[in-house]
Amino acid sequence: MKFYIPAALLLVFCATGASAQFYARCADYQRVTIEQILPGAGVLAIQSAARVGDTPEYRRWFGAFSHEHAERVRGNLKRLHKALSGEQLRFYCGHQDEPACKEGAYAYVYQTETYAMTFCPSFFSLPSMVGGSPTDEAYEYGTMEGTVIHEMSHFDVIAGTDDTCYGRTACIDLAQRTPQDAIENADSYQYFAEDVGFAIVASAPAEGVVKN
């Protein structure tokens, strides 16, 4: 069975409604962390879908703009938001000695095991998007909320993405070389969503930002 290992936005938002989630092998602090970031990940997905267009952010992560590619990206992000907002998700917390959690992996899913996601110990040391900037070195491999976007995009029922590149530098290069591969790459969705989220936070009035 094929599995994927990946390389977050508590924005101006109202908490989205979601079905009760299932947790297994998670310590209390891990469960609390996951519960805190899920609403932000859902808002991140829908706000990103709304900002798909011929923009610098789009071209940075998905390459030369085309309406066909843009519609695919927008549709994938909308499906991702719908799943985060209304489907029952199954979350597992892995251990560092598990093969899939070694070598710096943050989380993984099996492409056909819909809505089941395992978080590795290193996931919980990732930064949140709150107060951050994509130019900070700490964000080279993303955020907690962004990692959820990355992993959810792998599911066949959402986007069926691959892991053609990891990290901001490599994925910017992929987008410029082969846009077709970029729109099928999980990190490209993660970094596009994060950049959109950072931009929204930067332009929002201070009193309008909700931080959990």
Give, in order, the Cα–Cα distances in Å from 203 to each of 9, 12, 37, 98, 200: 14, 11, 21, 42, 5
Catalytic residue among 35, 103, 140, 151: 151
151 is a catalytic site residue: yes
The identity of residue 176, as a single letter, is Q
Query: What CA–CA distance (Å, rounded) separates 25 from 32?
Result: 13
* Dihedral sign of CA atoms 75, 77, 79, 81 in order: negative
- DSSP letter at 89? P
d(Cα 132, Cα 143) in Å, to the nearest integer?
A: 10
What is the distance of C-alpha 75 from the center of its chain? 15
Residues involved in catalysis: 151
